[in-house]
Every structure is written in C-alpha cells, then in structure tokens.
Amino acid sequence: MLNASCVTIVSMRLQQFLARSGIASRRKAEDLIRAGRVSINDQIVEIGAVVQTGDIVRLDGERVRMPQKNVVIALHKPKGYTTTHEDEHAEKLVYELVPQHPGLHSVGRLDKDTEGLLLLTTDGHLTQLLTHPRNQVRKLYRAWCKRGRVSKEVCQQLVQGVMLGDGLAQALEAQPVKDGIKLVLAEGRKREVRRMLGKVGHPVERLVRLAVGPIELGELEVGHWRYLTQEEIKLLHSNTGSLRLRKPAQAQRQKPAAAPSKRKAQHRPEAKSPQASVRAKKGAVESSSERLSTWKRQGTTQRSPNRRPNTRTGRADKT
C-alpha cells in the first residue's frame, strides 16, 4: 500500500507514471510514448514499459518527477461544473476551483447538474481503493423530487432493486425525507441515482452528495474546498464502508426500562441491623424452650428422624 502522504515508486506502467506526474492523461501519455518522446534511463521506450524505483524518466530530454507528497481535497462542487480534465464543450471545470497539483484528478465523477462532495487527489492507489466495485465504498445522496417526499414503499423497492438499461441497480439504504429521499449507494454508474428515481416515478429536481465513505460534506460552502487531514486520509484507507443512514428521531427514542419482576422482589432478602439479628436469635431460643416445656408437661417426646431405637438399651443412637 502507498503511504497516504509520501509517494514511493515500486513498479508502475510508464503511462501511469506520466499521468500521476501531471504531464498528461494516460491516453495522451500513450501518444507521447508512441511518438518516441519518452525515455527511461536514456533509452527510448515503447508502450508497456515499466518504471522501477531509481529509474530516470525524461520527456523531450527534460526529467519528469513524481510529486513528493500526495494530497486529498474535498470540494463542494457547484451545479454546472464538469468533472473532467478534457472536455472541449465544458464551460466550467472543477479544477478551476481548487489549487493546481501535478497529477491531481477526481475520485470518480459527479454529473454536471449534481452538487456536493467531490474528492480530488494525487494518490492513484487511493483512487483505485475508493472506486473499485469490490470495496463497496458507500456514498450518501440527498435528492429533492418533483413529486415531493418518497414513500416507504418506494424506498423498499429501491433497496430491492430496479432494472435499468445497464442492469439491476440497488440502493443499500433508502429513507424518506422532506420533499424527497436519502439514499446510500456503493456503485458509480452514470446518472444512477437520477435514473433509479425516474424509474420509480420520482424525477429528480436537485441532487446533492453528502458523503463518501467516512468523509462528510459537513458545513463546507458551495464552491469551497479544503485539504483532508492525515487522520482523514488514513480513515479513507482503512474504513471505506462505514457509512450508515441515521434513523429518524422518533425511531431513536429509548424504550422505557422494564419493571422489575415481582417474583424476584418477593424473594429478595431485606437488610437487617445487628440489633434485629440478636433479637431474632433470642426469640428463637425462647421458642425452643417453651416447646420443650410443653412436651414435658404433656409427657411426650420427639424423636429425631436421624435417630433409631437401640434394641439393647431402648435408647436412640445417632446414624
């Protein structure tokens, strides 16, 4: 695993090295390699070449270096901005809103009309970790729908899955909210949330992404950005699937404490003072003396169940 702050080259393809160095996209980097403009250790190379630790890469004779530190930026993407480096028809790009870093790229994409949390980084390993389907990184969305609040039945339908043109799409969680719905998804298909809600008859008016894994949008204002702390970056590396929808307030009320069992209360011994214990023992001795006197007056005796008569003496022996 690459460290969250420092870049260490172990082994990577040349086009990936050029892209992460901020020279060009991987596709354009391949064009540069085919044109014979890139060398490794002063040898012109072809597509498929691999860069190892200590190799010197040059483009048109100028050395290409990897950035010394990786950065991760959280951006509150406004509506109308395109998440791409290369789009001739795009009017506004998200990269106009953040500082320039060699190799900076978005972690996944948000549609032009979608707002909310967008992560950008120079760490290719982190990007792969957050975007690979097997890692099931949860993303939280808040949608305002034309028909208002989405019913619980429709939420259940979204969790069970709806069939789209590119296959079954499922929400991991869905919760009705004012004027719409909150959804948790772990996929990143194109316009997936909008298509899912349109399929169940709730077209989207506005869509905002509130969280990616453990990183939340919070109070970050529209168009503003911030660097993630090293603690947050480590959290992204180690805890990518922790996001859960909060239950409504009424569902969080605590149940009243169960009443103690009457049966147990009846058998619970009461604390006695030392004086009470002495009085109880004295009373027990007096009762025994009274019973013995009564038996003597009546000429009766009481034989212990553990004693049997001795045939020779007529006395009872202990067993």
User: How far apart (Å, rounded) are the C-alpha atoms in residues 296 and 210?
Assistant: 93
Beta pairing partners, 307:
318
Q: Provide the phi-psi class of 79: left if phi over 0, else alpha when psi is between -120 and 50, else beta.
A: beta
Beta pairing partners, 38:
59
Q: Is 179 a catalytic residue?
A: no
Alpha helices (H) in the chain, listed in sequence order: 14-20, 26-34, 124-131, 152-160, 192-199, 230-238, 262-266, 274-298
Beta pairing partners, 69:
6
Please say whether the beta carbons of 212 and 76 come within 8 A: no
- Coil, strand or helix at 318: strand
Name the amino acid, one letter, at 319: T
Positive or negative: CA dihedral 245, 246, 247, 249? negative
Could you please report the per-residue DSSP string of 72-87? EEEEEEPTT-B--S--
From the candidates 111, 113, 123, 166, give the one annotated as an active-site residue: 111
- Coil, strand or helix at 33: helix
- Coil, strand or helix at 204: strand
- Coil, strand or helix at 110: coil
Please say whether the beta carbons of 182 and 144 come within 8 A: no
Lookup result for tokens 């970050």:
220
Alpha helices (H) in 161-273, listed in sequence order: 192-199, 230-238, 262-266
Please say whether the beta carbons of 146 and 203 come within 8 A: yes
Residues with active-site annotation: 111
